[in-house]
Structure 1
Amino acid sequence: MKKLTYQIKIDAPVSRVFKTMLDKETYKQWTSAFNPSSDFEGVWEKGQKIHFTGDNENGEKGGMVAEIAEYIPNSYVSIRHLGILDKGKEVLSGPTVEDWAGALENYSFTDIEGQTLLEIDVDTNDEYIDYFNEAWPNALKQLKNISEKK
């Protein structure tokens, strides 16, 4: 697995960026860069299971099954991937999840004179590098725009 890193400076306080990133409605807006129907089911609390969902080309619900590995408000969030959602059902073992199980997404929020430096580290396999290198910068631009408008 490879680690990809993305960062963006946002002209808004850390507390606003953190809230914008994780609140249900604004989450759906900035993550639309990955899938127009992006959403989540669950809560942002350490140790809690969370589903990151979206509809596939056939209109079926799919996505990732994860747990919140760490949650420090206005500072750091770590997500550990456990498996996938296939037509709304959890798949936590087998060949379709072997490449993803244990992968981490880490979000670090740093205050720089009232602005926020958001750094993201994502574990991925070769198959998704090009996709992530296109989608993540677009998603972060959307998050920046939403956070700076509030």
Structure 2
Amino acid sequence: MKKMNYQITIDSPVDHVFNTMLGKETYKQWTAAFNPTSDFEGSWEKGAKIYFTGTNKDGEKEGMVAEIADHIPNKYISIRHYGVLDKGKEITEGPAVEGWAGSFENYSFMDIDGKTLLKVDVDTNEEYLDYFDEAWPKALQILKEISEK
């Protein structure tokens, strides 16, 4: 696993950026940089199971199975990935998840004179390094744009 780091400064208060990032409709907008059908099912509460979903080219639901490892409103969100959804079925062990199970995706929100510094730390394997380096900056730019409206 390699830890990737991304950050962006958003000209909007932390609480607004935090709520925009996690809101059902706005989440779909900024995560479209990863998958145009990106969505989530579940809760952002600490300890809750959450599914990060999308539709594959055959129209079947797929995605990630995760747990909210930590949630400090307007400060920090930590997501621990531990499985995949394949055709709507949850898989939490075996070859499909061995390469990244237990990886984390962490978001830190800091107030800088009324603006928000958002830092993202993501664990990934070699296979996704280039993809993340392309998709994460795009996703954060979209989050910035919709948060500054």
- Classify the TM-score, shorter chain: over 0.9
SS at match of 1:63: strand
Give per-residue Cα distances to partners, 1:86-140, cap 9 Å, x unaligned: 0011000001100121000000000000000000000000000000000000000
Matches within 5 A, 1:119-134: 119-134=119-134
SS at match of 1:19: helix
RMSD of Structure 2 on Structure 1 (CA)? 0.4
- Distance in 1, matches of 2:29 and 2:10, equals 16
Please state if 1:68 is matched with 2:72. no
TM-score normalised by structure 1 residue count = 0.99
Q: How many residues align?
A: 149
SS at match of 1:58: coil
Q: Which amino acid aligns with 2:98?
A: E
Q: Which amino acid aligns with 1:137?
A: P
SS at match of 1:47: coil
Tell me how far 1:58 sits from its aligned partner. 1.2
User: Share of identical aligned residues, percent?
Assistant: 72
Matches within 5 A, 1:81-96: 81-96=81-96
> Structure 2: which 5+ runs fail to align?
none
- Distance in 2, matches of 1:124 and 1:58, equals 26
- Distance in 1, matches of 2:62 and 2:100, equals 15
- Distance in 2, matches of 1:92 and 1:28, equals 25
Question: Which residue of structure 1 aligns with residue 80 of structure 2?
Answer: 80
Please state if 1:59 is matched with 2:54. no
Q: Which amino acid aligns with 1:141?
A: Q
TM-score normalised by structure 2 residue count = 0.99
Please state if 1:26 is matched with 2:45. no
Tell me how far 1:48 sits from its aligned partner. 0.4
Question: Which residue of structure 2 aligns with residue 37 of structure 1?
Answer: 37
Please state if 1:137 is matched with 2:137. yes
SS at match of 2:36: coil
- Distance in 1, matches of 2:34 and 2:122, equals 14
Q: Which amino acid aligns with 2:117?
A: L
- Distance in 1, matches of 2:101 and 2:128, equals 15
